[in-house]
């Protein structure tokens, strides 16, 4: 009989409840991970507040959390390259590896994607807000001893920022505007600075986030309420990471002729775009969804201290205070909130 563990299930909007459940057993190509740290993502917050995230509606209780790291507690019979006791971070994407998108290397667009802590498929895929979880061994990335658990749990959102910047192409020497000073926006800022962008401006309505952006190396931080972002003009790159409907349109006006707009934030309503202006300015308008092939590069950036994510981690709660942790995400001072199992 399997040993028991605690799992923290989202049972309805704004209520997560601790449940005793069987500890999972690793399959032949899987590892069992004792979870040490989990970050709370914007999609987790949407599920928590509304019991859905966009088109993904929860049909039953499930476990949130896809920014996960921990220690290998057991290995399946076919696992090579990992051992019990290894410290690892987890790529939450589990693509089919057989569809046309997977075959072309764009597995983030997999037609049959399974993703930790998501109601996108049924049965839902339980995430990392539990004492133990099993994942394919290939989803694990061994951590250097120098990295803290807090940094390891931030690798997944960093990989999203890296993917967004890679979508924009060459960024060295260019002027960039980022709309949204939350976790992803600030990670895009850190990434652009590490890649040699000449100037990076951040726009956010929250004063504390603007202050943090400047501390992290932003050339300037603007309040979008003043209309300054659009009036600045001539940005060669625009990264929309806020999900705000107004910012979606602002991006077109703020970007220079021949520039590139990358949409990262989830917008929860249909937004009209000035297509004629996009045409006349010859803008490249791109989407950036999740991440692909960026965990390895991101881990190296963290290990080399070329990017330091620790200033973004504003709150840490024990997993037993998970509902309080989600409440803290609504604070204007919150950027990244994490849950600690240690």
In a shared domain, residues 119 and 246: no
Cβ–Cβ contacts within 10 Å for residue 138, how many? 15
Number of domains observed in the structure of the chain: 2
Q: What sections of the chain are H helices per DSSP?
A: 42-50, 100-103, 149-153, 155-167, 183-194, 207-215, 228-232, 245-254, 275-280, 295-303, 322-328
In a shared domain, residues 168 and 200: yes
> What CATH code is carried by the domain that includes residue 213?
3.40.50.720
In a shared domain, residues 189 and 229: yes
In a shared domain, residues 145 and 166: no
> What CATH code is carried by the domain that includes residue 315?
3.90.180.10
The answer to whether residue 71 sits within a structural domain is yes
Question: Percent of the chain at pLDDT above 90?
Answer: 93
Query: In which domain, by residue range, is 191 found?
Result: 162-287
In a shared domain, residues 332 and 258: no
Mean pLDDT within 54-69: 96
In a shared domain, residues 16 and 149: yes
In a shared domain, residues 123 and 221: no
In a shared domain, residues 167 and 145: no
> Model confidence over 114-153: pLDDT tens digits?
999 999 999 999 999 999 999 999 999 999 999 999 999 9
In a shared domain, residues 201 and 128: no
Task: Report pLDDT for 230.
Answer: 59
Q: Catalogue the E-assigned strands of the chain.
A: 4-12, 15-22, 30-39, 52-53, 56-57, 62-63, 67-75, 87-90, 93-94, 114-115, 132-136, 140-142, 175-179, 199-203, 220-222, 235-240, 255-263, 284-287, 313-318, 336-340
Task: Report pLDDT for 36.
Answer: 98
End-to-end Cα distance, the chain? 26
β-strand partners of 16: 10
Token duo for residue 161:
């920022």
pLDDT over threshold 50, residue 1: no
> Model confidence over 200-245: pLDDT tens digits?
999 999 999 999 999 999 999 999 987 665 565 689 999 999 999 9
In a shared domain, residues 273 and 251: yes
In a shared domain, residues 134 and 227: no
């Amino acid at each position: 009989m399997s040993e028991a563990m605690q799992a923290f299930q989202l049972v309805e909007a704004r209520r997560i409840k601790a449940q005793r459940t069987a500890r999972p057993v690793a399959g032949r190509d899987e590892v069992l991970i004792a979870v040490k740290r989990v970050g709370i993502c914007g999609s987790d917050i949407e599920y928590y507040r509304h019991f859905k995230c966009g088109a993904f509606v929860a049909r039953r209780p499930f476990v949130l959390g896809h920014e996960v790291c921990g220690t290998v507690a057991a290995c399946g019979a076919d696992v090579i390259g990992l051992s019990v006791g290894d410290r690892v971070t987890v790529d939450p994407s589990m693509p089919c590896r057989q569809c046309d998108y997977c075959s072309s290397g764009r597995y983030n667009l997999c037609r049959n994607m399974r993703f930790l802590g998501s109601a996108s498929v049924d049965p839902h895929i339980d995430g990392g807000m539990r004492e133990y979880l099993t994942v394919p061994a290939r989803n694990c990335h061994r951590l250097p001893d120098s990295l803290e658990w807090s940094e390891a749990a931030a690798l997944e959102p960093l990989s999203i920022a890296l993917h967004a910047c890679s979508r924009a192409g060459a960024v060295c020497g260019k002027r960039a505007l980022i709309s949204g000073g939350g976790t992803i926006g600030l990670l895009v800022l850190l990434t652009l600075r590490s890649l040699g962008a000449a100037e990076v401006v951040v726009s956010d309505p929250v004063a504390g986030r603007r202050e943090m952006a400047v501390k992290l190396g932003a050339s300037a931080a603007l309040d979008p309420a003043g209309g300054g972002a659009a009036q600045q003009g001539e940005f060669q790159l625009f990264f929309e990471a806020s999900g705000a409907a107004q910012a979606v349109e602002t991006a077109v006006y703020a970007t220079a002729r021949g520039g590139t707009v990358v949409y990262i934030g989830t917008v929860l309503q249909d937004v009209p775009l000035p297509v004629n202006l996009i045409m006349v300015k010859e803008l490249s308008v791109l989407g950036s969804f999740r991440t692909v092939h960026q965990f390895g590069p991101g881990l190296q950036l963290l290990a080399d201290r070329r990017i330091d994510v620790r200033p973004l981690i504003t709150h840490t709660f024990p997993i037993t205070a998970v509902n309080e942790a989600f409440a803290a995400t609504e604070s204007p001072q919150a950027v990244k909130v994490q849950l600690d199992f240690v």
